[in-house]
Chains A and B, each alone.
Chain A
Amino acid sequence: MGEKRKIELDYSQLDSERMRLNVGPQHPSTHGVLRLEVELDGEIVTDVIPHVGYLHRCFEKHCEKMEYPMVTPYIDRLDYISSMNNEWPFIMGVEQMMGIKVPEKVEYLRVIVSELNRIANHQIAIATFGLDAGAFTPLLWLFRDREMILAILEKLSGGRLLYNYFRVGGMAADIYPTFKEDVLAAISQVRKTNPEILNLLLLNKIFIDRTASVGILPADVAINYGCTGPMLRGSGVPYDLRRTEPYSIYDRFDFEVQIGKGEVGTVGDCWDRNIVRYREIEQSCNIIEQAINQMPMEGDVKEAFPKKVRPPKGEIYCKAENPKGELGFYIVSDGKNNPERVKCRSTSFVNLSVLPEISKGYMFADLIMILGSIDIVLGEVDR
């Protein structure tokens, strides 16, 4: 399949008109309110112009008006698929500025909830990607599997999607008595049902035909465009903040950074990005298993709460590996109760900017697949 992609025609011989098509803001597969202005020559995409901002609420301006603990719920709503992961860098940044050392138990709990949420996020990413390809059943199978994870997170924090669980210096609530059993059960369930998705969707012949060697993103282009997460790893660059610059306690766990190898097509195609996500689910299971076994079950998660969240004057860039890539918050404090400035390096926003580069010359149906493989959440793109 490798050689017959990239359709090239000699347009000068034809007297034809190109069609401008507005895909979105209301469209089944733009994953929200994204508008793509697409120029089509028949079925072949000649130009793509993304128009973002339909969900813009100026999150950064909101932050300046709020005290630090009040910012967390807003951060949940950036990438609403993986809220736990979103909260972490912001809270970690404030803690570093204030010089708070959180208890061991909190660190482990943070790792566990973040990795659980990472699994849920990747499941949704694969599911919606399958939906873009026209396979409806994997979506419901993956939603079924995700339910156990959401149930655990709901029991912990009270919310199913928007948790507001991280606090400066600790967590909002302690674990519940059967937490360990629940987590282990969820992992074994994920490990059992994951190969089903592999067989039903990812190794399906039609699916491979649709995704292999489509939307190839070479490693240097990916780095130049600032792509991170499965986008970059799919292109064969083993850049994972959990491993390259381990934050929190990630240096204690044994896991492999997954990269795309071009098994069915070219390195950095849509299939590679998705198989990376699929394998990261397995790696997350390993991390959770190690963490839950090492985690001290006794102890108070609210022990290190500061009396008043008021970081000293200074500024910090704090980043973490979100399921979608590097999520960073630049926090500027002038010693008041509310931040002077918060800048969010949103992963989806940066990842989306590569879309026009990698989708030209493919067919319209491929454009949808490429967009799906980027795994954007418009709440994070538009902020």
Chain B
Amino acid sequence: MQAQEIFDKLKEKFNDDILELKADAPSDPIILINGAELFNIAQFMRDKEELDFDYLVDLISLDLGDNLGAIYIFYSMKHKHRIALKAIVPKDNPILPTLENLWRTADWLEREAWDLMGIKFEGHHNLIRILNPYDWEGHPLRKDYVTPEFYHGMKVPY
């Protein structure tokens, strides 16, 4: 199924929550959505027969200045099509619904996004840091991140 068809299908179901489709080559087509409805959209995409996105390829977190962005790439093993969803959340209150109950791989990917970019995933059963130490402070991939001077008495910047 082509990106435009997928977009139409979603638009039909979720109307206002599907904002726009960006499909300028060579980039992959991305559908901009309303972050609050992410879970329902994702569930629809996974369970709907014609879409059948059973594989969550990746979750990419972005720092867009005032906002944070999250891009989900989906792939269907059956129909062999691919689409990306993009949700934008404000930096001071970055909350998205978790997808770990739909795709178990989202568990670690969301923990990583929380750890490095600081996007909170509501409903995640164990949203703790994964790559950084558990008591690390700050989210390193944010553009305004400042490396702490010391960590447990050890000098951090090298």
Contact = CB atoms under 8 A, between A and B. Distances in A.
Interface of A: 52-53, 56, 58, 60-61, 96-97, 99, 220-221, 223-226, 237, 239, 244-245, 314-317, 319, 326, 328, 330, 332, 341, 343, 345, 349-350, 353-354, 357, 382-383
A61 B80 CA distance: 32
Nearest to A351: B105
Given A224-B105, A239-B77, A357-B104, A343 B130 contact: no
Interface string B23-47: 0101110100000000000000000
A244 B76 CA distance: 11
A244 B80 contact: yes
Interface in B80-106: 80, 84, 103-105
Given A53-B133, A223-B55, A343-B60, A60 B141 contact: yes
A239 B77 CA distance: 8
A56 B103 CA distance: 25
A99 B131 CA distance: 35
Nearest to B54: A223
Interface residues of B, number: 34
B51 interface: no
A153 B61 CA distance: 35
A349 B130 CA distance: 11
B107 A353 contact: yes
B6 interface: no
A237 B75 CA distance: 14
Given A317-B84, A345-B57, A357-B104, A53 B132 contact: yes
A343 B54 contact: no
B56 A226 contact: yes
A89 to B, nearest CB: 12
Contacts of B71: 330
A357 B131 CA distance: 20
Contacts of A244: 80
16 contacts: A52-B131, A53-B133, A58-B116, A58-B140, A220-B54, A221-B104, A223-B55, A224-B103, A225-B104, A314-B24, A317-B27, A328-B73, A330-B60, A341-B141, A345-B58, A349-B112
Contacts of A224: 54, 103-105
B57 A341 contact: no
A61 B141 contact: yes
